[in-house]
Amino acid sequence: MTQLALVIDLNVCVGCHACVTSCKEWNTSGPAGFMTDENPYAKDPTGTFFNRVQTYEIGEFPNTETLHFPKSCLHCEDPPCVPVCPTGASYKRKEDGIVLVDYDKCIGCRYCSWACPYGVREIDEQQQVMKKCTLCVDRLYDETLPESERKPACVLACPTSARLYGDVHDPESEVSVAIREEGGYPLMPEWGTMPSNHYLPRRKTRMHIHEDELQRADNPLNKEQRGPSAPVKTPTLDDSTSW
Cβ 20 vs Cβ 52: under 8 Å: yes
Q: How far is the CB of 67 from another protein (least distance, A)?
A: 7
* Nearer Cβ to ligand SF4 (89/162): 89
Helix (H) or strand (E) holding 140: helix 137-140
Radius of gyration of the chain (CA): 28
Site residues for ligand SF4, window 39-98 (CB under 6 A)?
Answer: 73-76, 79-81, 85-87, 89-90
Least Å from the CB of residue 7 to another protein:
13
203 is a contact residue toward another protein (CB under 8 A): no
Could you tell me how many residues of this chain bind ligand SF4 (CB under 6 A)? 28
Binding segment for another protein (CB under 8 A), chosen from 111-119, 166-174, 220-228, 231-239, is 111-119
The residues, ordered by sequence, that sit 6+ positions from 86 with a Cβ below 8 Å of its Cβ are 107, 109, 111
Q: Which residues, 160 to 219, sit near ligand SF4 by CB under 6 A?
A: 193
Distance CA 5, CA 168 (A): 6
- Helix, strand or coil, per DSSP, at residue 26: helix
Best CA proximity match to 102, nearest among 115, 113, 87, 116: 87
**Residue 120 is a binding residue for ligand SF4 (CB under 6 A):** yes
109 lies in the site for ligand SF4, by CB under 6 A: yes
The amino acid at 243: W
Cβ 134 to another protein shortest distance, Å:
17
User: Which residues contribute to the site for ligand SF4 (CB under 6 A)?
Assistant: 73-76, 79-81, 85-87, 89-90, 99, 101, 106-112, 116, 118, 120-121, 130, 132, 193
